[in-house]
Amino acid sequence: MKSIKILIIMIVIFGLILAAGCAVDTDPKEQGPVSHETVEGKISITATLFPQYDFAREIGGELVEVSLLLPPGMEAHSFEPTPKDIVSLSKTDVFLYTGEAMEPWAANIVENLKSQGVLVVDLSEDIPLLERDEHINDQEDEDGHEDGDYGVDPHYWTDPNMAVIMVDRINTVLQEADPENSTYYTENTEILKGKLIKLDQDIRNVVDHSKSNTILSGGHFAFGYFAHRYGLEHMSPYEGFSPNAEPSPKSIASLMETIASTNAQAIFYEELADPKVARVIAEETGIQILLLHGVHNVSIADLESGKGYIDFMYENLENLKIGLGYDE
């Protein structure tokens, strides 16, 4: 049996190297996930992005051991799992991923994981996915990778209502993995959903009492679902979702004209990427530069501080009050 398992892992690794091309260059020691230790008696869960990592630890509490596949501080769109990650994944009980628009590499491994008994969950299955903006054209990033052929915006977690759907799904999965503790998971789920619904109401209140309805972003824009939910517009000089792509001078000029004509107060930058474009625009126009955290992944310091999805979203809301001109 053991040799068959090793063979399967070898096949997966080989398949991944073929698919990824560049995976062999990376040092697994540097890119190791937060934790993949199996703790006796606990359900082990591996999450690709921070939102599902955070929701799983809230719902599963002391009964689960959750690992974040992304190394803390790493920009999420350029991540691909190392062969070591794939081996770790094969040992986890539950694998929660965002969907193939965010994690195209998952397509190569999910069938193998399932055959090894991993409960594989594509959280996008329950989500009404939004198409990418019409003005966004497919383009290639610096590595020559197509920036998503999927035609959908992968950032659904930025809408707290979509987060509620994710939370319900994670609860269902834990019930399946551990039916004995069903009440415990459902109670935690209800508490978390209560907080997400409160967050949704607080966002609506800010949007309803703000002068502007446009989010000006100097980075790749992860808040499409958020903007859609709350009736907001957004402008970003980036096309597509890859932070590695370069914005066009024309789109930067157009953003600067909007800032001048609308008396905008702030331009937003994204987490875990150099905010060079937002900084230049802020300097040129004399407005503030503020963080709009897309919550794909977190820094080591944020992970150690124990901050969760809801904390990041409230920090975003404070900055949005300034950027949108909130008037109590």
For Zn ion, which is the closer residue by CB, 109 or 222? 222
**Interacting span for Zn ion (CB under 5 A) from 131-139, 216-224, 225-233, 285-293:** 216-224
- Give the residue carrying structure tokens 């329950």: 126
Q: Which residue lies nearest Zn ion, judged by its C-beta?
A: 222
Residues 6+ away with beta carbon under 8 Å from 209: 326, 327, 328
Q: Which is nearer to Zn ion, 83 or 237 (CB)?
A: 237
What is the closest distance, in whole angstroms, from the C-beta atom of residue 252 to Zn ion in the complex?
20
Least distance (Å) from Zn ion to the CB of residue 87? 27
Q: Which residue has the tokens 């409160």?
A: 198
Would you say the C-alpha torsion 283, 288, 292, 297 has a positive or negative sign? positive
Tokens representing 247 are 């914005």
| Cβ nearer to Zn ion, comparing 60 with 154 | 154
Residue 12 interacts with Zn ion (CB under 5 A): yes or no = no
Give the total of residues touching Zn ion (CB under 5 A).
1
> Closest separation between CB of residue 77 and Zn ion, Å?
5
Distance CA 191, CA 59 (A): 9
Closest contact distance (angstroms) between CB of 205 and Zn ion is 26
**Would you state the structure tokens that stand for residue 19, as one six-digit string?**
């698919």
Q: Are 155 and 223 in contact (CB under 8 A)?
A: yes
Q: Which is nearer to Zn ion, 222 or 272 (CB)?
A: 222
Give the whole-angstrom CA distance, residue 121 versus residue 92. 12
Q: Which is nearer to Zn ion, 170 or 222 (CB)?
A: 222
**Amino acid identity at 224:** G
Q: Which is nearer to Zn ion, 110 or 222 (CB)?
A: 222
Cα 108 vs. chain centroid, distance in angstroms?
20
Shortest distance, position 327 Cβ to Zn ion, whole Å: 31
Q: Any idea what the Cα angle at residue 252 is, between residues 247 and 256, rounded to 5°? A: 160
CB of 313 to Zn ion, least distance (A): 15
Helix, strand, or coil here: 65? strand
Single residue of 118, 130, 222, 227 touching Zn ion by CB under 5 A: 222
Q: Closest separation between CB of residue 76 and Zn ion, Å? A: 6
Indicate the residue among 15 and 247 with the shorter CB distance to Zn ion: 247
**Sign of the four-CA dihedral 22, 28, 30, 36:** positive
Binding piece for Zn ion, criterion CB under 5 A, among 123-131, 202-210, 215-223, 318-326: 215-223
Residues making contact with Zn ion (CB under 5 A)? 222
